Each structure stands twice: as structure tokens, then as C-alpha cells.
């Protein structure tokens, strides 16, 4: 299957025009134009958080996803899987299905003290990098990603953009089978007969000569409602992207069904997003996709370009979401709180809280309180990380000592790495508090 030439990179990996030329093969003469488009993207205000200049190269940052220019695509994948990803392009192996029950067992093992998990080494780093990305994306709140769709489409070894677009189109196809929603809309137009309310001002202006016509407003049962207009806008946008022939074929089939619907444009688009009637509940996931594509809601805003399209996600947010989601799903014996905002580090002279503490995850039961902070890092814990955990440990220990005594623990949670094992240290803050450095699994073992 013919696809757009793609350069696979890890976070914080530099690349040059020569790397693009190598991926283009016989079409390497197009490399200068592609490189110029990427330089233009990197120079736009705010886009330095995605691409930075590094000498004569460009360097990715801590966002994963894709940047597409005409005729070329860059996929940025989690750094945990290595940097030699292009050596594995063309891998024909089937990606392993994500086993939720088996992964929950791993999470329950992770929570045990002094546990060192040993997931199996993946045979293909590129497949594993994409699997880790898919696993994290499906845990995002208010996001349209579904694990079942990823499992199906990832086995086709499609580019990331095609995977996202085909997920959208599959949702569209299911909605079409159920039946698109129509709505009564006030339609104003010049008619050859009297129907509805006569608009006198418009009628006199338009029909001064044509006495046989009537400019009226009437309610019509139409497909041309705000949710359908947003879907049509997304479908029209896809026509501007470089997609595989199979994706283009599916796109054309779906666009045909929306032929009588106008596409949302400009300021009207934000208005249409605000007109989700309760009876359009079946559209909820599709509208989340529209939000992602049309308003470029990739968790972090960026400046767009007519030369490049980007869909990028900050990896530290994905990892935090992934860890919190699976702890909530797997631990029945703990109450799991995400982003708890109840305690302050200090008080001012009027006893008002100063410096709100916001630990990523807090686990509580009758015997213990565990404070977890996720860090998407490969290197060891930094001094700043340790000071942050000291602040959590000292404040929570002080507050717990006033009430029911429970064991306190603070954990720095990093992504699982083959070369490092968990470690335990001790803080002394009114009581001895264990600081554990733990490594969370990214896939089933």
C-alpha cells in the first residue's frame, strides 16, 4: 500500500535535511522544499515547544504525535523505545493485542513494596513505541481514542495520521448505519410559493420585480444541523492531508453521505461546537474527534501553518494520565485521587493557604497514604524531584500526625526501564517516611 514517506523520531532526537532525503529515496530532490516547510513551522511563534533549531538540524521536544508537510510526515514517538526506529520500517509482524486483565495484574504487582517488574523485551522497537503511544492516548479524559480501534488498525502498520483518520471514519460509518440525526431549522429563502413566515423587508428588497416569488422563513427537517456541519468540516479538512489510498477511498464514501450538509467555517465553527443538543448523544465521540482535528486540541495550543499540520501531545501528561487511569482500574483496596488539591505548603499571617500542593496521585486506605508523582524521564531522579517529594512528605506527615496515624510513603514513578531497578530511601519528617523510586509498566509483560 502506497503511503506518505515518513521519518520516525524519538523525543529530543535531532534530524537534518539529509535524513529526510534518505527517507525519500528516489524522490530526494524534494528534500529541500520539505526542509524549508519544517523550518518555517519551527520558526512560528510557540512552535519551539515542538521543534527547536540545533545547529544545522532540527530537534524534537517532549511532544509525541505527527507533523505533516506536503509529501512527507514526521512521527515523533516515546523516547523510552530508543532512537533507531527507522531501521524497523516495513516490519510485517502483528502487534500483540493489549491484554487489559494481564496488565492489571502487573499494576497490582507494581504497587507491592520492593517489586521489580520485568516486562518482556519487544521484538520491534517501532511497533512497541507506537503501542506505548496508543496505550497512553486511550487513557486521556474527554478524548475520542478507543483501545479496540487501535488494536485493529495498528496491525495494519498504518502511519499515525491514517490511524487517527480511519478511527474517525469508522465512527462516521457506524453513525450512518444508525441514521444521521435531522433537526428542525429556520430556513430563510426566496420561494415560488408562500410557506412559513413572510419576511417583508427582504421580500420587498429581493422581489421588487419578481412578484410571483415570496421571501419566507420556515422550519425544515434537515441534515444541515450544527453537529453534522462539524463532521462535514472535518471531512473537508481531511481532503487537504496526505493520506493513503485506502483512507482516501473511505473518506470519499463518507463525504458522499454528507453532500447536502454545509461545512462549519470560521467563527461559526465555535458557535456550532456550543450547539450540542442532548438528543445528539450518539455524536459525542465524533464531536470529540472534530474538536481534536478542527480546533487542533492536542492538549497544548500551537501556531498552525498552511505548509504544515501537526497533531502533538505532551508526553509527560500522557504518562501521568496512563499511570492514574490504570491505578484507578486495578486497585480495589485503595482510594485513588488524581491531582488532589486540598493542602497548602504554607500559611500567611492571616492563616490563608499559600503554594497549593498538587501531587499527581494519592493512594489511601486505612493503613497507609502513598503520594505518587509521575516523571517521564529516562535518567535518574534529579535533586529538584527529591525536593518536591520532600515537600509532599513533610506536609502530609504533619497533617496525618494530627489525626489517625497511617503509614506515609512517597513514590517517584518513572516509566519502566530495562537497565534500572527500584530503590528505597528515607525522609525524616516528624516520622521516618520511605521514598521509593518505582518504574511503571508501559505494556503487558
Give the dihedral of Cα atoms 356, 357, 360, 365; nearest 10 deg: -120
Q: What is the CA radius of gyration of the chain?
A: 27
Decide if 173 contacts 254 (C-beta within 8 A). yes
Per DSSP, the residues of 285-314 read HHHHHHHHHHS--SSS-----SSEEEEEEE
User: Is the CB of residue 219 less than 8 Å from the CB of residue 185?
Assistant: yes
Within-domain flag for 265? no
Residue at 384 is within a domain: no
Render pLDDT for 263-300 as a digit per residue (tens, 0 to 9): 988 777 777 777 666 678 888 889 889 888 887 644 44
What pLDDT, on the 0 to 100 scale, is given for residue 165? 92
3-state helix, strand, coil in the chain (%, to 5): 40, 25, 35
- Domain annotation covers residue 188: yes
Q: What angle do CA 37, 41, 44 make, to 5 degrees?
A: 140
First to last CA, the chain: 32
User: Would 154 be classed as within a structural domain?
Assistant: no
Q: Identify the bridge partners of residue 364 per DSSP, sorted by sequence position.
A: 335, 369
Question: pLDDT per residue over 178-233, tens digit each?
Answer: 888 887 666 677 777 777 677 767 776 777 777 778 787 766 667 888 889 999 99
Predicted confidence at residue 301, as pLDDT, reads 36
Overall domain count for the chain: 1
Q: What is the pLDDT of residue 75?
A: 95
For residues 324 and 64, the answer to whether their CB atoms sit within 8 Å is no
The residue whose grid cell reads 500526625 is 401
Question: What is the structure's pLDDT at 416?
Answer: 86
407: confidence class by pLDDT, cuts 50, 70, 90: confident
The answer to whether residue 204 sits within a structural domain is yes
- Statement: residue 302 has pLDDT above 50: no
Q: State pLDDT tens for residues 108-157.
A: 988 887 666 555 566 688 888 888 999 999 998 888 888 777 777 766 67
What confidence score (pLDDT) does residue 398 get? 60
The residue that leads in pLDDT, 369 or 51, is 51
Tell whether the model's pLDDT for residue 371 goes beyond 50.
yes
For residue range 5-43, what is the model confidence (pLDDT) as tens digits?
A: 999 999 999 999 999 999 998 999 999 999 999 999 999
Any domain includes 299: no
With respect to residue 193, please indicate whether it lies within any of the assigned structural domains: yes
Q: pLDDT value at position 298?
A: 44
* C-alpha distances in Å from residue 98, one per residue of 102, 136, 159, 442: 9, 12, 19, 11
With bands split at pLDDT 50, 70 and 90, how would you rate the model's confidence at 303? very low
Expressed as residue numbers, the domain containing 205 is: 183-222
Instruction: Give me the pLDDT at residue 266, please.
Output: 74
CA angle at 167 for the pair 221 and 94, rounded to the nearest 5°: 155
Residue 187: inside a domain: yes
pLDDT value for 299: 42
Amino acid at each position: 500500500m502506497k503511503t506518505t514517506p515518513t521519518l520516525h523520531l524519538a523525543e529530543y532526537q535531532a534530524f537534518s535535511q539529509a535524513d529526510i532525503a534518505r527517507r525519500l529515496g528516489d524522490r530526494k530532490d524534494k528534500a529541500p522544499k520539505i526542509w524549508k516547510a519544517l523550518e518555517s513551522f519551527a520558526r512560528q511563534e510557540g512552535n519551539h515547544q515542538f521543534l527547536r533549531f540545533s545547529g544545522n538540524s532540527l530537534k524534537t521536544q517532549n511532544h509525541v504525535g505527527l507533523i505533516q508537510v506536503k509529501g512527507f510526515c514526521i512521527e515523533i514517538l516515546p523516547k523510552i523505545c530508543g532512537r533507531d526506529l527507522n531501521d524497523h520500517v516495513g516490519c510485517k509482524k502483528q502487534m500483540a493485542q493489549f491484554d487489559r486483565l494481564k496488565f492489571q495484574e502487573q499494576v497490582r504487582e507494581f504497587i507491592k513494596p520492593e517489586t521489580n517488574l520485568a516486562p518482556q523485551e519487544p521484538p520491534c522497537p517501532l511497533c512497541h513505541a507506537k503501542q506505548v503511544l496508543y496505550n497512553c492516548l486511550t487513557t486521556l479524559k474527554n478524548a475520542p481514542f478507543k483501545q479496540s480501534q487501535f488494536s485493529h488498525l495498528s496491525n495494519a502498520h498504518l502511519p499515525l495520521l491514517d490511524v487517527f483518520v480511519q478511527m474517525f471514519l469508522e465512527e462516521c460509518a457506524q453513525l450512518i448505519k444508525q441514521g444521521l440525526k435531522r433537526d428542525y431549522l429556520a430556513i430563510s429563502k426566496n420561494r415560488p410559493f408562500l410557506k412559513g413566515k413572510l419576511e417583508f423587508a427582504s421580500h420587498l428588497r429581493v422581489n421588487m420585480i419578481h412578484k410571483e416569488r415570496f421571501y419566507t422563513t420556515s422550519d425544515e427537517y434537515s441534515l444541515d444541523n450544527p453537529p453534522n456541519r462539524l463532521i462535514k468540516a472535518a471531512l473537508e479538512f481531511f481532503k487537504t492531508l496526505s493520506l493513503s489510498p485506502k483512507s482516501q477511498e473511505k473518506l470519499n464514501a463518507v463525504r458522499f453521505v454528507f453532500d447536502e450538509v454545509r461545512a462549519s467555517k470560521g467563527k461559526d465553527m465555535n458557535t456550532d461546537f456550543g450547539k450540542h443538543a442532548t438528543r445528539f448523544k450518539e455524536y459525542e465521540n465524533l464531536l470529540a474527534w472534530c474538536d481534536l482535528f478542527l480546533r487542533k486540541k492536542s492538549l497544548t495550543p500551537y501556531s498552525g501553518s498552511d505548509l504544515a499540520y501537526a497533531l502533538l501531545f505532551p508526553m509527560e501528561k500522557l504518562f501521568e494520565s496512563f499511570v492514574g487511569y490504570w491505578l484507578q482500574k486495578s486497585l480495589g483496596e485503595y482510594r485513588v485521587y488524581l491531582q488532589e488539591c486540598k493542602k497548602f505548603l504554607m500559611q500567611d499571617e492571616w492563616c490563608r493557604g499559600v503554594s497549593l500542593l498538587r501531587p499527581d496521585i494519592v493512594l489511601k486506605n486505612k493503613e497507609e497514604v502513598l503520594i505518587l508523582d509521575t516523571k517521564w524521564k529516562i535518567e535518574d531522579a534529579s535533586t529538584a524531584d527529591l525536593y518536591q517529594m520532600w515537600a509532599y512528605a513533610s506536609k502530609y506527615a504533619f497533617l496525618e500526625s494530627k489525626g489517625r496515624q497511617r503509614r506515609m510513603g512517597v513514590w517517584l514513578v518513572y516509566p519502566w526501564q530495562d537497565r534500572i531497578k527500584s530503590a528505597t530511601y528515607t525522609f525524616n519528617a516528624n516520622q521516618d517516611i520511605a521514598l521509593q523510586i518505582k518504574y511503571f509498566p508501559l505494556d503487558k509483560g
